[in-house]
Amino acid sequence: MEKLDRNALKNKFRKGKMPSEQDFSNLIDSMVNILEEGFDKTSRDGLKISQLMGSGRLLSFYKNIAVENPQWFMELSNNDNKLYIGTPTSPRVLSLYSHNNQNDGNNNLRVAVGINKDTPRTTLDVDGTIASSGRMGQPGDFPAPADGNWHDITSPLTGCEMLEVVAGVGGQDADGRYALIHGRAMNAFNGKGSIEIQDTYFGNKCSRLELRWQPVPDLGQFHYKLQIRTQCSYGSDIWIQYHLTRQWFDPLMLRSNQTPAE
């Protein structure tokens, strides 16, 4: 097909012209055909784009259409449910992956995002360096008043767990009492639990924060939970802020008898 712009096509069909069969062919080929071009638009789906000839390529972005290689492109994997965004030199800059027939334990289909990864194995899988201005775990689900008593900060657990805990508390301005704690808490089936602590405080010594593992005998000898407290009360309506980050994801060690993927 000869590539002609609109003005060239119009000239072929001006009054007094006798368009040839090739002119009609060029006119037809200049139009979008839903079946052949892989484009459609519906009220339900919006713009629909399909790959052509099994290439996987959906979109290519150019600064200059006359240049052979695109700046960026988007393409589908031919086998798995993956969408790639990349460049000719880095074809897997961003990988979006929906794990077929797998869920995250909450009946949600497992999805994963990879950066410089062909097949991301976790929710976010990065082959590179991460720089950020901060990092925090999930805010705790259980209220923990700063009243000097022990309070649960996890639901009952079992198996092997490793948690990072960051917590802080501050009294009324006139009290001059503050405390921070950073801990890594490990436990294996309610055996000999371990908690590594770094902490700081301002005010009297009992302003400090503490962590401990506590058995849950009602559920059996292998269950436990993590608790936090201030060594003494900060007064009414003062609450411990805390964040938790899980650092181990195979509590029953089920993957220990699986050959590592290459």
- Residue 114: burial class (beta carbons within 10 Å; 0-12, 13-18, 19+): buried
Q: Per residue of the chain (262 residues), what is the pLDDT tens digit?
A: 566 777 877 887 888 888 888 878 877 777 766 666 677 888 898 888 888 777 788 899 999 888 888 999 999 988 788 999 999 999 999 999 987 655 555 445 578 999 999 888 888 999 999 999 999 999 999 999 999 999 999 999 999 999 999 999 999 877 899 999 999 999 999 999 999 999 999 999 999 999 999 999 999 999 999 999 999 999 999 999 999 999 999 999 999 998 887 5
Please tell me what DSSP assigns to residue 239: B
The 3-state DSSP class for residue 155 equals coil
| pLDDT attached to residue 17 | 84
* Residue of 224, 227, 223, 165 whose CA lies nearest to 199: 165
| pLDDT attached to residue 244 | 98
Phi, psi of 31 (to 5 degrees): -95, 155
| pLDDT attached to residue 107 | 45
Q: Given 3.30.70.2740, 2.60.40.1680, 3.40.1390.30, 1.20.960.40, which CATH number is that of 138-246?
A: 2.60.40.1680
Separation CA 85–CA 60 (nearest Å) = 10
| pLDDT attached to residue 227 | 99
Task: State CA 160 to chain mean position distance.
Answer: 24
- Detail the DSSP E strand segments found in 138-246: 138-139, 151-152, 157-158, 160-170, 178-188, 194-202, 209-215, 223-230, 241-246
Q: Where in the chain is the domain with CATH 2.60.40.1680?
A: 138-246
